[in-house]
Structure 1
């Protein structure tokens, strides 16, 4: 089967990081200094001066993406060391969430602040976003419908924000829950066409619920800038290997959706609130207990669901040369219980000092 598949779609990964004081662990406004210290790296501002963003080039394979992310993390971490800062791959800061962030002086960010008001005053959310090339926007809308039942498993696999304002929230992915306050949040509705997709966004903008189409915050959306489908449901990751393996797993899902559409296989039937409920279960549980089975809707052991996901896209992963890396990610998560559980354990045993050491350890190649 794998040998007859079309070429794997190209992809790219955007990573966001938090900048934390190396002693207190509080968000630290040093992004300008770090960007200045790493010329030649694709380093960008995010909403706050305590956040840093990068992106891979358009990639054909996982090795290219891993080299880009690992190289950036290493350079940024070295620069941060000299400034008394830790570059942290975590979805939310464990401390300091009650402190208003210092917004970057960007006209668009000013407009977002004026429109969203207090909702973004402490919006420290940092994620891992994946773009997968698609042949058309119509194909992207169809793929979103086919991916929906599997998307909660992706939330569980990438959950990495259990701590907020010095407390264990009881959720593996508190960042995902905090994002539900947006006018467009969670998994998008099922759209029958691009015209319907664009029409809904236009209606939201016209009503004042959205500033513009670029502020759509669904877990999966069509990119406004590129010919891609974009997944926005993953937290920032502790380790660049995990970010890349997640990216290639999502690529496998998109490729499988495109193949099924080409073959005329009917898209699965689902109801949006049921999918949103499955996301809530995934954000709460992570990989620690059960997830919602994508076919039956029954609770199943988390890793049973994850294995079914990998099996669903095994041909696509093998064809792209990604199957071993994805299986290695699953085995890492089986061994450690998930990144959220790793953070919890460090917090219990080492407090903020232990967490900062954990974040530093995520920068391979230093």
Structure 2
């Protein structure tokens, strides 16, 4: 009963923190755009995102070294909320370069919201239930992605971007007591910083899942840029394109709800889910009408949810216990970098044609799925 309560508390805390994170990105963008224009908004968001990609390995090593990782997570959450508050309070009152610096420092703590939490799951559930727990954990990301951006838009429109920033910080702080009470480690480990990168390369299953999902994330990052333009082109409004992302998240959530009740091979599921994402993106590129476009986006969501859950399952199974947090946060940083690359590449392609952008995004999924079996061969080359 205690274990079940603890995991339920974990899910509540993780959902609150991750919703705050998903809300904070659009809120930062809207704050900058509303006050100083598109360049200011995108620059602030870039500072927040890039820093998150850098901070993962360091935070993961700190979590692995600590006998009380929940306390580290709690401090990280408080720091992230404080950073959001500083950006909100100081924007326009101090030089913009300083604002970007605050965004970068704040972003360094973002891995406390993602991989840092997930690495604690094995301490909360017995080994036979770890697969289902991984799926439920992945659903917190999907729920946050469903709620956060929409809430940011509603709050910014109704009350202003600063209010959206405040709510993002409050949601992050709600998660603090849930993180603080996470179980302590029986003994602290002393892993080297950045040691997880070696593990991710040398372990065949981790190498395979990380490489496949990162390539897939490049395509997903491209698609996120293209969806609003597709909405404007085919549905009459960029806002409808944004709503496609909501439909994607709903499909992802439902797929994981079904997956959580079944046994499956996570390694194989990573590949199959990538195929589903690719088919969905290709379908969206050529869909002649709104119903088929919605179905194509839903198929992408059906792939995305199980892909994330399967990634978690592989990492829990393969990561050395003394490096688990560092493996999760480092892999999350690589994923963020993949999405950022996709965002950057999609700009010129989408400006030419959003259809071309989606075709290219689907192509990355094909490459990722076809290359999936190859990442486990010739292990001696990376020793």
Give the TM-score normalised by the residue count of structure 1. 0.33
Which is strand-richer, 1 or 2? 1
Give the TM-score of the pair, scaled to structure 2.
0.32
- Structure possessing the higher relative contact order (Cα contacts under 8 Å, 6 or more residues apart): 2
